[in-house]
Structure 1
Amino acid sequence: MRAGHRQSLPAHPYLWRGADAAPLRAQATGWTALDALLPGGGWPCGALSEVLYPQPGAGELTLVLPLLARLTGKAQTVAFIAPPFALHAPALARAGVDLPHTLVVETRNDPDALWSAEQLLHARTGAVLLWAQDIPTTAMRRLQLAAERGDGLALLLRPSAAAAAASVAALRLGIERIGGVPTVEVLKCRGARPVQKITLAAPAPPHRPAALPARGVRLSFA
C-alpha cells in the first residue's frame, strides 16, 4: 500500500489496525464504576463470563439485573437455567425485567443444564444464566463456542470455591456482601489486570413495561 493511501482509511471504531488491540464488543453491565474498568465497557459479547458467589443471594442476581432489564426491554429472550431457588417474579419486574421475554429451565442434573444452555445459545438467546456446581473444562469450552456462534452472552454462576480452578471464561467476577452491600471483584478479564473490589452503587432506574404477567415461561426436565 502506498503511503498516501494509508491516510484515506476510515477511522471507524471497529476497524482493527495491526498495531492496536482488536476492538471488544460488550454489553454494559449497568454499573458505571464496573463498566469503566472492563474492556469494551461491560459483559463481552459472544463469550462466556463467570460470576462466583459464596452462597446464593450474595448479590449475583443484583449484578446482572440491569443487563436483563435492557435485553428484555428490546424483546430479547433471557434464560435462567437451574437456579438454586425459585425466582421471585415481582422482584424481577420491579427491576425492569420484561417477564414475557424470560425463560426458566429446571433440570435434573448438570449435564441436562449444560445441554439446555448450549441449545439456547445456539438459538441466539440474548443471555443465558446457568447455575452449576462442578463443570469440566471441556463443557466450558462448548459453552464458549455456543456463545460465539449464537453471538449471545453466556453467564455461568457457581460457588466461590471454583475460583481456584482454571477457567476459559473471558470475564470472571467474584461477588459478596460486605456490610450488606454487594461488592464485586474482577478476577479475570481480557485486556486488563484484576482490580480491587467495587461496591455496586444503584444503577439508573429501569424502564418498566405498562403491564406484566405474574411469571415468565417455565420448562421442566422430568
Structure 2
Amino acid sequence: MSLEQLLEQGAVWRASDTVGEPCVAGFYSGHEELDQMLNGQGWQPGSLVEMLYDTEGCGELRLLLPLLAASAERWVLWVDPPHIPYAPALKAAGVALDRLLLVRSNSRRDRLWCLEQALKSGCCSAVLGWLGDVPQQALRRLQLAAAQGQGLGFIFRPTACREQHSAAPYRLLLEPDQAPDKLAVSVLKRRGGWPLPRRVLSLRQKTVGRRAASLSALPGVVSARVRAGG
C-alpha cells in the first residue's frame, strides 16, 4: 500500500497537517487527566471518537457521563446499545432523560444510516453507536457527517478492530483496572498529536463547569426503530 493511500485513510499523521490550524477549545470531559490527553483540552466538536474495549461495563459509559450530563438544549442519541440504558442511574448522574433518544435498527446498513443522519443534522450534542466490523468508507462517512454537524460521535467497537484503518481522528483503548472507579485509557490516535501510552483515570464524576456542551432533566427515555431512508 502506498504512502498516499495510508494518508488518505488517516492511518498516518503528519505533524505539518496542524501547522497554522487554530486550536479549538474542546468540550470539558469531566476528567482532568483525560483532557490533558486530548488536543484542545477536551472532546473536539465535529469529531468521531472510537472507543475500543473487550470487557463490557469496564467504564466506557461512565467516562462519558459528565459530558452527557452537561447537554440540555440538544438531543443525545443512542443507537443499538447492547442493553437498555438504566434511566435511574442516568438521572442520578444528571443526564437529562427527556433529551435522550434510543434507536433500534434492523441491520448494519440501517444503523450506519441513522448514525450518519444524526451526526449530520447538528441536532445532537452527542451520538453514541455500537458497531462491529464495518468498512473503512463507512467510518469516513461518519467522520464527515460529524464535521458537518459539529457534534460529537462516539463509536463503541471490540478491541480487535484496532488492527483496522479508521478515519476517526480519535481512537481510545479502554481496559478495566483492578481498582474500583478506575479505567485504563490508551490513546491510539489523536488529532494533532502522537499516540499516548496507557494511563489509569478516575471515573468519579466531577461537576462540569467549563467549556461544556449543554443537556436538562426528567421523565423517560424516548425510543424508536429506524430503517435506512425512512
Higher relative contact order (CA 8 A, sep 6+): 2
1:140-170 residue CA offsets vs partner (Å, 9 max, x unmatched): 1111111111111111111111111111111
Shift in Å, 1:71 = 1.6
Shift in Å, 1:25 = 4.3
Aligned-partner Cα distance in 2 for 1:19–1:134: 34
Shift in Å, 1:89 = 0.7
Alignment root-mean-square deviation, CA: 2.1
Residue 101 of structure 2 contacts residue 221 of structure 2 at CA under 8 Å; is this kept in 1? Answer: yes
Q: Name the counterpart of 2:49.
A: 49
Matched, 1:212 2:218: yes
Aligned-partner Cα distance in 2 for 1:43–1:177: 21
Q: 1:203 aligns with which of 194, 197, 205?
A: 205
Secondary structure at the aligned position of 1:62 is classed as coil
1:25-70 residue CA offsets vs partner (Å, 9 max, x unmatched): 4222111011012111122211211111113212110111111111
Shift in Å, 1:20 = 4.1
Q: 1:90 to 1:193 in 2, by over 3 A?
A: same
Q: Name the counterpart of 1:26.
A: 26
Matched, 1:103 2:101: yes
Normalised TM-score (structure 2):
0.81
Aligned-partner Cα distance in 2 for 1:97–1:24: 25
Shift in Å, 1:111 = 1.2
1:170-214 residue CA offsets vs partner (Å, 9 max, x unmatched): 11111111104322111110122222222222231469x99621x
Residue 48 of structure 1 contacts residue 153 of structure 1 at CA under 8 Å; is this kept in 2? Answer: yes
Secondary structure at the aligned position of 1:113 is classed as helix
Q: How many residues align?
A: 201
Aligned-partner Cα distance in 2 for 1:166–1:210: 37
Residue 95 of structure 1 contacts residue 206 of structure 1 at CA under 8 Å; is this kept in 2? Answer: no
* Overall identity of the aligned pairs, in %: 39
Q: Name the counterpart of 2:13.
A: none
Q: 1:218 to 1:20 in 2, by over 3 A?
A: same
Normalised TM-score (structure 1):
0.83
Matched, 1:192 2:154: no
Aligned-partner Cα distance in 2 for 1:166–1:19: 24
Q: Name the counterpart of 2:184.
A: 183
Residue 114 of structure 2 contacts residue 226 of structure 2 at CA under 8 Å; is this kept in 1? Answer: no
Q: Name the counterpart of 2:146.
A: 147
Shift in Å, 1:139 = 0.6
